[in-house]
Every structure is written in structure tokens, then in C-alpha cells.
Copies of this chain bind each other. A is one copy, B any other.
Amino acid sequence: MQERGTWRMDTESRQEQIARAALKIAENGIRAVTVSRVSEAVGMVPSALYRHFRNKDEILKAAFGLLRNMLLANLEHAALAQDSLVGLERFWRRHLAVIREYKAVPRILFSDDIASDQSPIRPLLVQGQDDMIQGLSSIMALGQKSGTIRNDVPARDLSILFLGQMLLPAYMHFLRRGEFDLEGHVERNWNIFRQTLTQHLLQTEDPACANK
């Protein structure tokens, strides 16, 4: 039934091709994503895009979907680790890698366009954020159950704190056009935050906090 010939596949891949082009262009800001630029990138004329998407918003939604999938995929990877702390560290490293590769991430995150009331992407962004926090919370909760992570604080709060420790460096790195050591800062933040996560262990163990 789906083997209707190559033209159907053509549409599918066209859509993906367009979405990828839009994502690429979004590296220069959401507003840089114009119908004519996208069409040029895929070797078409502006109006041709409307054969594959109802309108520009649909294109943006598709582009966002690509990004969302990549970011959430990191969660699954992190969840594979036996040790929660290892999983979390693995997560932020991958997270940063995606941010580095797809420069559109901060442009979408820090876009007032998308934050606007009419933007069809805003609910998707909120949903994706919730999914991410939910996923991180699961990992945190697992660590709490196994005693690796303090349990005097809700897992969700810890997740938000964890994400937040990445957000400001990412923002600064973004605003400064790379003139900011993103990895270095997040790594140092992580070292401090790991202590925070395992603070309940400090009392019973050697005062290794001065091991710096």
C-alpha cells in the first residue's frame, strides 16, 4: 500500500530535507528562516515549499521536531548507566555536544519569537522541556533509591537545578559568540553540583571536601 512508487518517498524526504535546511538556517536566528532562504537552500523557488508544507509555521514545527528528538535521545543514553551520577555526567556531555553541533538550539531556546503567544512552537517547547525534566527526575529518583543521591530534596527540584547549571553558561556562550568556555564552566559547575547531590554522604565519610 505504501509502495506507491518513488514520488511518495520523494515527498517524505523532501519534507525532511526542508526541515533540515530550516534548522541549519536557524543557526543565524529564527528570523533568518525565511521562506525564500529555505527554498533556496533546497534548490527550489519559494512557492514550491507550499507543496510540502501548509505554511511556514509547519516548516518550523518540523525543524523543531528534529531538534527535540536529538535532545531527548540523550536522556535514554543517560538512563542506561548503572550509576545515576555517571548517567547525569554522560547526559550533560552529550547535551553540550548537541548544542555545539546544532547552533540553532540556543537560537530556538532564547527566541522571543517562539515565546510569543501566537507561536505554534511554544507549546511544543514547553512540552519538550517537561519531558526532559521528567526524564532527568527519573534518573535522579533512581539515584535516590539506591542511596547515591540525597533524598531530602525532591528529584524534580534537583533536575531543575541541574539543568539550570547548564543554562547560564550556554546562554553566555551563545551571547558571546563562543567567547566563553562553555565546557569548562559546565564541568566546574558539575563538580560542585555533584557534591551537592551527594551531600548526605559527606558526613559519614572522610572530609574529602578539601581534597581539592
A5 at the interface (CB under 8 A from B): no
Let me know if A129 is at the binding interface, CB within 8 A: yes
Contacts of A75-110 to chain B: CB distance below 8 A: 106-107, 109-110
- Asked if A122 lies at the interface with its beta carbon under 8 angstroms from chain B, I say yes
Contact surface of A with B, Cβ cutoff 8 Å = 28-31, 106-107, 109-113, 115-117, 122, 125-126, 129, 152-153, 157, 160-161, 163-169, 171-172, 174-177, 185, 188-189, 192-193, 195-196, 199-200, 202-203, 207, 209-210, 212
Q: State the CA gap A54–B121 with chains docked (Å).
A: 35
Can you show 13 pairs from A to B with CB atoms below 8 A apart? A28-B116, A30-B112, A31-B113, A109-B110, A110-B110, A110-B111, A117-B177, A153-B188, A157-B185, A161-B165, A195-B196, A203-B207, A203-B209
Write out the residue numbers on chain B whose beta carbons fall within 8 Å of the beta carbon of A157: 185, 188-189, 192
The smallest beta-carbon distance between A184 and chain B, in angstroms, is 10
Provide the residues of chain B in CB contact with A209, threshold 8 Å. Answer: 152, 199-200, 202-203
In the bound complex, do residue B171 and residue A167 qualify as a contact, i.e. CB atoms below 8 Å apart? yes
